[in-house]
Structure 1
Amino acid sequence: MTKALKVVAVSGSLQRPSRTLALVEHLVELIGDAVPVQSHLIELGEVGPRLAGALARSQLPPEIEAEIAAVESANLLVVASPVYRAAYSGLFKHFFDFVHHEALIDKPVLLAATGGSERHALVIDHQLRPLFSFFQARTLPIGVYGTDKDFTHYRISDDALRARAALAVERAIPLLNLRSTAGRHPELVA
């Protein structure tokens, strides 16, 4: 019997409610429908005030250190940021600056982003994918991007966005390769 996959989701939005948060929660829910998960959500809007002044990991308060450790120990990351001036948010980058540079090697990462229009959709391939390539993480092939018009009252209302999210998760599940991951992470096997 397989234990739950430890999924850590990071929402880079600085506000609540948030379209980015809604997209992250939807992706985690879809993953949970496909495989057993134990999920943990990190909202940068909530942790940001305690994170922003730190310049070194040793300066992080214990609760933020615990969030960084959760990212490093996850079996799967779901990360999303709203687009600010053609890139992920500065606080999103600052958060990941504290993650150890070898902690995400071969870790699967599902990338997502939200923005005001379709013209920002390339943020996934031109900003997020290179960031996680630095970590030598295994970014999953399909990212999910949503625009403001895909949401109504901070809930996904567009069928095409739902379909993209479902396809991204459908294609991700086989790539998680739970059997080979279990060799490096015995906690996955009962």
Structure 2
Amino acid sequence: MTHLSFVGLSGNITAPSKTRALVSTALDLVQNRIETQRHLFEINDFGDSLGRARRLEDLDAEARAKVDVILNADALVIATPIYKASYPGLFKHLLDLLDPQALLGKPVLLAATGGGEKHALAVEHQLRPLLAFFEAQSLATAVHVSDKDFTNGTLTGDAALNRLARAVTQFDAFFPAQLRLQRAAE
């Protein structure tokens, strides 16, 4: 059986990262539903060449290989921290390097982390239009989590976990039923 490739991209540059924890949790939920090969990248994983790059060709070989994994993925989970009502510049810079048709039709779960609920609409006002530019297929349910949803760096908030689980089920529409895992517990 061929496994689908799901790639998570965390727009955070700090470690440990709540954004990375959010993406990892989403990928875990996906793996509970669909046979997948998964990868998780953070902005720091692209190294120093990212900040200097004006085109994809300017990235060093290791960073370019990671971008290729993203571009060849069957689906994406993209999450970013929200600072002052928007995503970090280096996260946007990575996406700016991509061809406008690079994500055409690719299903994407959009998510964000923020210090509080004040940033919740940034997912809809910042991330959704950005991925619409690429003509990606953003899932209907986006997820915003705040500091209160985490315990010791782990996503534990019931409402946040339920929303994330609901969003993950929306990937089902994009993939053949035979790839979905049949869980006895469901």
The separation in 2 between residues aligned to 1:95 and 1:150, in whole angstroms, is 28
Aligned length: 177
SS of residue paired to 2:83: coil
Partner in structure 2 of residue 40 of structure 1: 39
Once the two structures are TM-superposed, the CA of residue 174 in structure 1 deviates from its matched residue by: 2.6
Partner in structure 1 of residue 131 of structure 2: 132
Write out aligned runs for 1:1-190 (5 A): 2-170=1-169, 172-178=170-176
Deviations 1:162-185 (A, max 9, x none): 111111112x13322337xxxxxx
Runs of 4+ in structure 1 displaced over 3 angstroms? none
The separation in 1 between residues aligned to 2:124 and 2:23, in whole angstroms, is 18
The separation in 2 between residues aligned to 1:85 and 1:175, in whole angstroms, is 34
SS of residue paired to 1:162: helix
Deviations 1:58-107 (A, max 9, x none): 21101111111111111001000000110111111011111221121110
The separation in 2 between residues aligned to 1:50 and 1:178, in whole angstroms, is 38
* 8 Å CA contact retained: 2:112, 2:144: yes
Partner in structure 1 of residue 184 of structure 2: none
Amino acid at match of 1:54: A
Deviations 1:41-61 (A, max 9, x none): 111133243311112222110
* 8 Å CA contact retained: 1:11, 1:21: yes
RMSD between aligned residues: 1.3
The separation in 1 between residues aligned to 2:50 and 2:25, in whole angstroms, is 26
SS of residue paired to 1:174: helix
Pick which of 73-82 and 61-70 moved more: 61-70
SS of residue paired to 2:53: coil
Is there any run of 5+ residues in structure 2 with no aligned partner, and where? 178-186
* 8 Å CA contact retained: 2:49, 2:58: no
Question: Equivalent pairs: percent with the same residue?
Answer: 41
SS of residue paired to 1:100: coil
The separation in 2 between residues aligned to 1:74 and 1:178, in whole angstroms, is 16
Once the two structures are TM-superposed, the CA of residue 160 in structure 1 deviates from its matched residue by: 1.1
Is there any run of 5+ residues in structure 1 with no aligned partner, and where? 180-190
SS of residue paired to 1:113: strand
Scaled by the length of structure 2, the TM-score of the pair is 0.91
* 8 Å CA contact retained: 1:68, 1:98: no
Amino acid at match of 1:178: P
Scaled by the length of structure 1, the TM-score of the pair is 0.89
